[in-house]
Chain A
Amino acid sequence: MSILSIKNLSVQLEDKKILSGINLELLRGKIHCLMGPNGSGKSTLAQVLMGHPGYLTTSGQISILGRNLEEKATDERARLGMFLAFQNPVAVPGVSVANLLRMALGQNHNGKGRSKHNPALNLVSSVNEKILAVSRKLEMPREFLNRGLNEEFSGGEKKKLEMLQALILSPRVAIFDEIDTGLDVDALRIVAHGISLLKKAGCSILLITHYQRILKFAKPDYVHILIKGKLVSSGSFILARKIEKSGYREWLSP
């Protein structure tokens, strides 16, 4: 079943065309791997799907479960079930991941159950337990939960924080933008385990990566190749293997 549908999407940044004519269906409970050389537009696609205000969509349509996202701001998209794990998550000093998640869950419930005086307090205990449980699965020290978001965390720790948020918010569509860069083998295995948990829960996953490493742990159902802003090929896991051997030459040649 298609969860997220991208039809004929073209995007530019100022005068520069970055994506053209993208068509892609992300399916429920499937891992879609998006590969391509540097600068092919992978991260742009991730940001555009999440509604980044810096890009101009010149044509096409994105919809989640049949709902057009065109007029939807980033926060609305999130509340409709979209999630983006950032390649370089920005620091938000003094805001802990626990705080953010409590607030996010409060809003995802459309304000129901929000106390007038303090929206956070109602959810605190159940959310806290959930966060603790997930953080243990990801082998994160407890103090990570209360430290400022992405502040003084190593690259790998930041990626785990992104995964933690994905697991707690349990989105319909999760986009992972190079979640595997900067991870050692153990962290990679843990993060890949997170992806498989999401998959099991029916989440549709778009996994953007440069490397084969993570694909060993989180085996994709589909592989898509993005070259110079165009989707040039889609296939099974075999496609990823092929790229490992011979790179993108086949599509890059004029």
Chain B
Amino acid sequence: MNNQILQSDYRYGFSKPENYTFKSKKGLNKKTVEEISRHKNEPEWMLRFRLEALAVFYKKQMPVWGGDLSRINFDDIYYYIKPIKDKAGSWEELPKEIKETYDAIGIPEAEKKFLGGVSAQYESEVVYKSIQKTLGDKGVIFLDMDTGLREFPDLVREYFGTLIPPQDNKFSALNSAVWSGGSFIYVPKGVKVELPLQAYFRINAANMGQFERTLIIADEGSYVHYVEGCTAPVYTTDSLHSAVVEIFVKKGARVRYTTIQNWSGNVYNLVTKRMRVETEGFGEWIDGNIGSKLTMKYPSVYLMGKGARGEILSVAYAGANQHQDAGGKAIHFAPYTSSKITSKSVSADGGRTSYRGLIQVFPSAIKAKTKVICDALLIDDTSRSDTYPTMDIRHNDVQIEHEATVSKIGDEQLFYLNSRGLKKADAEAMIVNGFIEPIVKELPLEYAVELNRLIQLEMEGSVG
């Protein structure tokens, strides 16, 4: 009942007529994979990689923990869709339909204001990108993954699939077999990219899986902030989004990866994200999950070098019929490494959030420091929140902190805000926005505004 209200109210639930130049058949088999690879003119090794991954996918069991995955039908999904013949180099060259879709989510506006480099993805292929010239002059590579593979095959081969191999889990295997699109970024030694690099992703065909693949390499002493935001239109059948993100943070480098995802209520969002941080490097995940039917996502930091740091900020909102199973993992391999995981989750209207986290400290990681804070806010009595923290500490010379709170919106808080003229839904949204504020303030301004607004819309929908 509530779901229907939410879905019919879903503000981003527009969809455009489908207009594709190539669409693979539904279902997954060797032929599909070969077709994808051939269509992209990939090197032989990538085809082999895909086929091996497919074999792994067949062998791997579905995860039995986390959320309910039983309704995913792998035979009922399109694995590759290419929307238009060539990539457009500028906004004007984009087909009208695609421009309208972007207009509806506000991307040109965003570009005007902020963007240093834009690489926006429309379904499986990046159709619109404009890379600021200065990036190129500094030697920064910012391409869609397909082009990256074509233009820098050796660099891609050195790193691709080495941090998250297909064997990691069933969905990393699936992504490895059928991946398409995503971003490829290389930042040379000592180069600091001052403006965030941004990409917008969208799924726009019923039953289409989106399997983007992102690879970021930040060479020694460099800095880059990558920002990714997603909205998806509503469909009656279930959609699958399963991405893989691998990030290499070299000595003294810093990478921040920000995601705001707002999938419609029928999307399975199953993503594997990992950062490898070398000596004195700093890797940060900022991860916002709104919408989707089920999200399972635990960005991780592998702290490999002495003094490496990792931070994960995770915020999740689950409304009616939604399950956000999110959190983070920090694995300490080296001495003096430090990690911090902050998770804030909001459950409303019968929604369910779970924090799932792992802290692992190996004997080699003396003087390691780690801190986990997970706070849950429940809007009503029908909503649910769980925490599944795991700690595996293999020695004593380590500093560990763990804080967890669960709170409910208080009647007195509501009365206070109402007495200032705020309607109930707005007052609740304001309390929620205040609750997640420690994370929102880390976002670039327009994303902060968007996140607050999205949550407000979700809540207005759920109360109406």
Q: A residues near B, CB below 8 A? A: 50-54, 73-75, 77-79, 82-84, 86, 89-90, 92-95, 99-101, 103-104, 107-108, 117-118, 121, 148-149, 165, 169
Contacts and interface: CB of A to CB of B under 8 A. Distances in A.
B36 to A, nearest CB: 38
Interface size class of B (residues with CB under 8 A): 20 to 34
Given A52-B415, A104-B420, A169-B421, A94 B410 contact: no
A100 B429 CA distance: 11
Given A83-B419, A99-B430, A103-B430, 20 more contacts: A53-B411, A74-B415, A75-B418, A75-B422, A75-B424, A82-B419, A89-B416, A90-B410, A93-B434, A93-B437, A94-B436, A95-B434, A103-B422, A103-B426, A104-B420, A107-B421, A107-B422, A108-B421, A169-B420, A169-B421
Contacts, number: 85
A78 B106 CA distance: 34
B420 A165 contact: yes
A107 B430 CA distance: 13
Given A92-B431, A94-B434, A84 B419 contact: yes
Contacts of B418: 51, 73-75, 78
Interface string B380-417: 00000000000000000000000000000011110111
Contacts of B106: 117
Given A103-B430, A118-B453, A92 B416 contact: yes
A86 B421 contact: no
7 contacts: A53-B411, A90-B410, A92-B413, A92-B430, A95-B437, A107-B421, A165-B420
Interface of B: 106, 410-413, 415-424, 426-427, 430-431, 433-438, 449, 453
A79 B453 contact: no
A97 B422 CA distance: 13
A50 B424 CA distance: 15
Contacts of B427: 75
Given A94-B436, A99-B430, A100-B430, A74 B453 contact: no
Given A75-B424, A95-B430, A95-B433, A100 B417 contact: yes
Contacts of B438: 94
Contacts of A84: 419
A158 B407 CA distance: 23
Contacts of A89: 416
B385 to A, nearest CB: 17
Nearest to B424: A75
Contacts of B431: 92, 95
B433 to A, nearest CB: 7
A103 B449 CA distance: 14
A143 B52 CA distance: 58
A125 to B, nearest CB: 15
Nearest to B430: A95
Given A73-B418, A78-B421, A90-B412, A107 B434 contact: no
